[in-house]
Homo-oligomer: A and B are copies of this chain.
Amino acid sequence: MPGMGAVATTFIGGVLAIRQGLGLPIGALSQMGTLPMAAEAGGEIPIKNLLPLARLEDLVFGGWDIFPENMHTAALKAGVLAPATLAHIKADLERIRPMPAVFDRACVRQIEGPHVKQAGSKMALAEQLRDDIRSFKAANDLDRAVMVWCASTESYGELAPVHQSLSAFEEGLETSHPAIVPSMIYAYAAIREGVPFANGAPNLTEEIPALQDLAAEAGVPISGKDFKSGQTMIKTVLAPAFKARLLGVSGWFSTNILGNRDGLVLRDAEALKSKQVSKLSALEQILDAQVYPDLYSDMYHTVDINYYPPRGDNKEGWDNIDIFGWLGYPMQIKIDFLCRDSILAAPLVLDVALFMDLAARCGLTGLQDWLAFYYKRPILAAGARAEHDLFRQLAILQDRLRTLADLAVPARGVSGEMAVN
């Protein structure tokens, strides 16, 4: 994991606690989900019985961060898991220390840390990361690895020529082109090492053709972007309901208050823009104004994010939705979601890691459209139509898991050591 802050420590600490029976992996389909099968195939069958997913006991954790603190210190600082929980897994957490990070202040302007790599070029940084991956696998005697981006949101960026082809990109790495940002360097290193890459933030990364081409060429699965954990998840549930009932929407105002490192990073206008673009995209696709112009063509949609330290990781998302019904009469819905950012994200990291690993083992390469369920702004293979409706995304995910279950039957038992790093 690039980025070992609140999300990463909650994920790691959680898995360690679950292994000791201190809690359940609530929210993780890979652990607690079932797959509806035909009655003759047994009805609802636990996903983990159907598919040869890596087991929690076999996971080994590692990553990079701009602060050198071990995972126990970092978890206490993040303030998500209770000190009492952390006390039980202290030794294991302390053993995990981040490697120095690739970091660029120009991309993440609100924070700075001492634990960063130095090198003559971005290509040299990529080489260091590849070394890190190889060393980590060797040191832990691992067969496989997955990289999940758990770090902060980078400044907003758009596709540039340097992103358009692998050759331009690699030349850009050599010349340290400014449009190549850390998340791309990490993804490049991962793919070059045959490690599946998943992007939990709204960074450009896997959206650039250079990395998509590389993933195809190298036969490595990639997916993204931006974990759909709280407010957007609820949106992608309510919007389909309005459409199902043909209720019009004239406005949707969303605001968020959060006080963790993520919130701090988003104080920067450019990082905020990355996040907003990601958060705004779902509604328009679901509420198809082309098919229902009378209902959705005049919708005013705005998303606001505010840094608010008193609450720490305990984010609050407040939505006001202006809808209209019969003859156009207006109504309002207000939703206040007192959530916990990292508690919602941690099981998504686990699912994505295990499913990406499964994909790699089943020979799936390039963009994994079927994981759209996990992302605010799914990046899909060329030609595919974005699907934001949570329930349709779930159906797509289940279909694919059913297919993989059939494929996987002979492969059962193969599940070996696997690292999420």
- A interface with B by C-beta (< 8 Å): 10, 14, 17-18, 22-29, 32-34, 44, 80-81, 83-85, 233-234, 237-238, 240-241, 244-248, 250-251, 253, 255, 257, 291-292, 294-295, 300, 302, 304, 306, 308-311, 316, 318, 320, 322, 324-329, 331-340, 343-344, 346-347, 390-391, 394
B-side contacts of A346, CB under 8 Å: 326
In the complex, which residue of chain B has the Cβ closest to the Cβ of A11? B326
Contact B344 A325 (CB under 8 A): yes
Question: With A32-B292, A241-B233, A329-B343 known to touch, is A322 a contact of B310 (CB < 8 Å)?
Answer: yes
Query: Would you list 21 pairs from A and B whose C-beta atoms are within 8 A, ordered by A residue?
Result: A10-B326, A23-B326, A26-B247, A26-B328, A27-B325, A27-B326, A34-B291, A81-B327, A237-B237, A241-B391, A244-B390, A257-B320, A304-B304, A318-B318, A325-B343, A326-B343, A329-B343, A331-B337, A331-B340, A332-B337, A333-B338
In the complex, which residue of chain B has the Cβ closest to the Cβ of A327? B23
B-side contacts of A17, CB under 8 Å: 327
Contact B327 A85 (CB under 8 A): yes
Q: Point out the residue from B244, B320, B328 that lies within 8 Å of A391, measured CB to CB.
A: B244
Contact B391 A326 (CB under 8 A): no
Contact B325 A340 (CB under 8 A): yes
B-side contacts of A308, CB under 8 Å: 251, 253, 300, 302
In whole Å, how far is A375's beta carbon from the nearest beta carbon of chain B? 13
Contact B14 A327 (CB under 8 A): yes
The residue in A27, A318, A320, A326 that gathers the most chain B C-beta atoms within 10 A of its C-beta is A326
Q: Point out the residue from B26, B33, B244 that lies within 8 Å of A294, measured CB to CB.
A: B26
Contact A28 B306 (CB under 8 A): no
Q: Point out the residue from B300, B329, B333, B335 that lies within 8 Å of A310, measured CB to CB.
A: B300
B-side contacts of A318, CB under 8 Å: 255, 318, 320
A233–B325 alpha-carbon span in the complex (Å): 14
In the complex, which residue of chain B has the Cβ closest to the Cβ of A374? B245
A18–B244 alpha-carbon span in the complex (Å): 21
B-side contacts of A253, CB under 8 Å: 257, 306, 308
Q: Point out the residue from B27, B246, B291, B306 that lies within 8 Å of A44, measured CB to CB.
A: B291
B-side contacts of A255, CB under 8 Å: 255, 304, 306, 318
Q: Point out the residue from B27, B326, B332, B337 that lies within 8 Å of A338, measured CB to CB.
A: B332
Contact A295 B26 (CB under 8 A): yes
A300–B312 alpha-carbon span in the complex (Å): 12
Question: With A292-B32, A333-B337 known to touch, is A347 a contact of B328 (CB < 8 Å)?
Answer: no
In whole Å, how far is A72's beta carbon from the nearest beta carbon of chain B? 16
B-side contacts of A347, CB under 8 Å: 246, 325-326
In the complex, which residue of chain B has the Cβ closest to the Cβ of A299? B310
B-side contacts of A332, CB under 8 Å: 336-338
In the complex, which residue of chain B has the Cβ closest to the Cβ of A333? B337
B-side contacts of A327, CB under 8 Å: 14, 17-18, 22-24, 26, 81, 85, 343
In the complex, which residue of chain B has the Cβ closest to the Cβ of A392? B391
Contact B247 A27 (CB under 8 A): yes
B-side contacts of A322, CB under 8 Å: 310-311
In whole Å, how far is A353's beta carbon from the nearest beta carbon of chain B? 14
B-side contacts of A291, CB under 8 Å: 34, 44
B-side contacts of A394, CB under 8 Å: 244
Contact B26 A326 (CB under 8 A): yes
Other than A27-B325, A28-B326, A300-B309, give 13 A-B pairs with Cβ distance below 8 A: A14-B326, A23-B327, A26-B246, A26-B327, A32-B292, A33-B246, A234-B241, A244-B391, A255-B318, A300-B308, A302-B306, A331-B339, A334-B335
A309–B251 alpha-carbon span in the complex (Å): 8
B-side contacts of A391, CB under 8 Å: 240-241, 244, 391
A255–B28 alpha-carbon span in the complex (Å): 31
